[in-house]
């Protein structure tokens, strides 16, 4: 660790950039899964949203966040942000596969 | 891969849960870095927001997202969501370390 504030800032930013690359790649795989879920649900007439599943996801993520030292409220807001994007996609998939 | 839709759904959900745990743990470390950035900036009187840095982060993440098969618009919205939380935290740190 360097004592120069500007160098220390650059060092931290390099770490942040690496974490962001990891986040983007995991999010890409997560979306592949939720897209498969969306197609499966559309094909078998399952409802796009599942409140019980979402509640258990929120509860679990808040616990994991707490253990990891992340603000559980942020983890919940983050999950809601991702889920709302997923539901938007499911509705698009449903729209495009709907048969008259 | 199973042919039963309910089993396949459970299988995909287990993968999503694993990705979410990974995301929470990476976000926790990312916040440790941005908190260190916040303290460093507060200590040395650097401005909390840095538009040039944010622009280059957005550009890079959109490229990475594109390569990874993730919607670049989602990657950008995700980064903005995380950055707005970080700036909120920086302002709190700045407030709590401000000297009269």
**pLDDT one-digit tens code per residue, B80-94:** 999 888 777 767 766
Hey, of B6, B16, B65, which one would you mutate to test binding to chain A, going by the most A CBs within 10 A of its CB? Answer: B16
Range of the domain at B47: 5-97
A98, pLDDT greater than 70: no
- Ordered alpha helix ranges (H), A44-99: 51-68, 72-97
pTM: 0.87
ipTM: 0.87
- In this structure, what CATH number is given to the domain that contains residue B20? 1.20.59.10
pLDDT 10s digits, A8-60 = 999 999 999 999 999 999 999 999 999 999 899 999 999 888 899 989 999 99
Residue environment code for B22-42, b if the CB has 16+ CB neighbours within 10 A, otherwise e = bbbbbbbbbbbbbebbbebbb
Structural domain total, chain A = 1
Q: Chain B: residue nearest A17 by CA? A: B57
């Amino acid at each position: 660790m360097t004592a120069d504030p500007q160098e220390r800032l650059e060092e931290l930013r390099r770490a942040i950039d690496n974490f962001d690359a990891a986040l983007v790649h995991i999010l890409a795989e997560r979306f592949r899964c939720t897209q498969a879920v969306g197609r499966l649900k559309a094909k078998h007439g399952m409802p796009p949203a599942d409140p019980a599943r979402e509640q258990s996801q929120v509860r679990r993520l808040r616990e994991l966040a707490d253990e990891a030292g992340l603000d559980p409220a942020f983890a919940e807001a983050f999950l809601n942000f991702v889920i709302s994007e997923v539901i938007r996609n499911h509705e698009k998939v449903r729209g495009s596969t709907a048969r008259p």
